[in-house]
Amino acid sequence: MKVLKNEKHQGYSPVLSQISDNQIHGDYKESFFIGIEGSNDTPFCRANIWPNPDVLSGWQATMEKYHQEALRVCKAIARVLALALNVDGDYFDTPEMLGNPLTFMRLLHYEGMSDPSKGIYGCGPHSDFGMMTLLGTDSVMGLQICKDRDVKPRKWEYILSIKGAYIVNIGDLLERWSNGIFKSTLHRVLGNGQDRYSIAFFLQPSHDCIVECLPTCQSENNPPKYPAIKCSTYLTQRYQDSQVDLSIYKK
Ligand SMILES: O=C(O)CCC(=O)C(=O)O
Ligand SMILES: [Fe+2]
């Protein structure tokens, strides 16, 4: 499974290779990243790296099916979110918005014991960058959320995993779109010494989508809090900020 990752972060990432905002150590997790297939010069798209089918037969097809179904679920949730924001249910269903979404999937394995006082985490505190994340977890506790990131000291609450249910995290681009009506969820993962496995499916708008405050989320007394930004510009910046120098793994 340890197919080396490439510069576009596809494939396997070892423990300590990813770092969240304001963290000293990397995360105590290993992961396998599956992005969208594309030609090498398309930003955010690249041929995925798959394990040898002789070793894991049928794995690629299973992952591709999961990817397709997770996208279907996210698009259905996007319709509910649109109605909640007082725009048409199909508001996000345009080619510019969710027509060619930048969807990424990360299969995660956590290990070891976290110690937040020493900055040691399974996954350090962060919010996801995109529109929303569909998270499937096993029954090992670990995920915590902070409902109000501005209250200090921060209060962290465990999220129980419910068999057969997904956790949906609001991402930063949806916070921008909704002018802060939907707040992106600050979350982290603590290791408790047990192995923990999860699958995160990240939904991000189309590459050239301009994410700007929805007409229904602003008024004279409530002007847009964030400037309009192109999805790819925003994501490039956020991904660059969260990666440890990849060159150390290219031996
Ligand atoms: O594993 C989890 O429960 C959370 C994963 C996560 O937050 C992420 O990969 O962004
Ligand atoms: Fe996350």
Query: Which ipTM value was assigned to this complex?
Result: 0.99
- From CA 84, how far away is CA 76, in angstroms rounded? 13
**pLDDT tens track for 101-124:** 999 999 999 999 999 998 899 999
**pLDDT tens track for 160-176:** 999 999 999 999 999 99
Quote the pLDDT of residue 28.
Answer: 75
133 Cβ contact partners less than 8 Å away, ≥ 6 residues apart:
168, 169, 171, 200, 201, 202, 203
Backbone angles phi, psi at 108, to 5 degrees: -120, 145
Give the mean pLDDT per block of 10 residues along the chain (251 residues). Answer: 57 66 67 82 78 91 96 98 98 96 95 91 94 97 96 96 95 98 97 96 96 98 98 91 51 36
Name the residue at shortest CA distance from atom 3 of ligand 1.
Answer: 143
CA of 176 to the centre of ligand 2 (A): 17
Quote the pLDDT of residue 240.
Answer: 82
Amino acid, res. 142: G
Q: Are 188 and 126 in contact (CB under 8 A)?
A: yes
Name the residue at shortest CA distance from atom 6 of ligand 1.
Answer: 200
CA of 128 to the centre of ligand 2 (A): 5
Q: Are 170 and 185 in contact (CB under 8 A)?
A: yes
**Which run of H or E residues covers position 157?**
strand 157-158
- From CA 149, how far away is CA 147, in angstroms rounded? 6
Contact 143 CB / ligand 1 (< 6 Å)? yes
Q: Which ligand places an atom closest to the C-alpha of 109?
A: 1
Quote the pLDDT of residue 241.
Answer: 79
- From CA 124, how far away is CA 188, in angstroms rounded? 5
Quote the pLDDT of residue 44.
Answer: 79
Which residues partner with 75 through β-bridges?
none
Q: Which of 1, 33, 38 is nearest to 246 (CA)?
A: 33
Bridge-based pairing state of the strands 101-110 and 123-126 = unpaired
Quote the pLDDT of residue 245.
Answer: 46
User: CB-hemisphere CA count at 13 Å for 202?
Assistant: 21
Quote the pLDDT of residue 251.
Answer: 36
Quote the pLDDT of residue 9.
Answer: 59
Architecture of domain 11-41+56-239: Sandwich (2.60)
Domain ranges of the chain: 11-41+56-239
Quote the pLDDT of residue 246.
Answer: 42
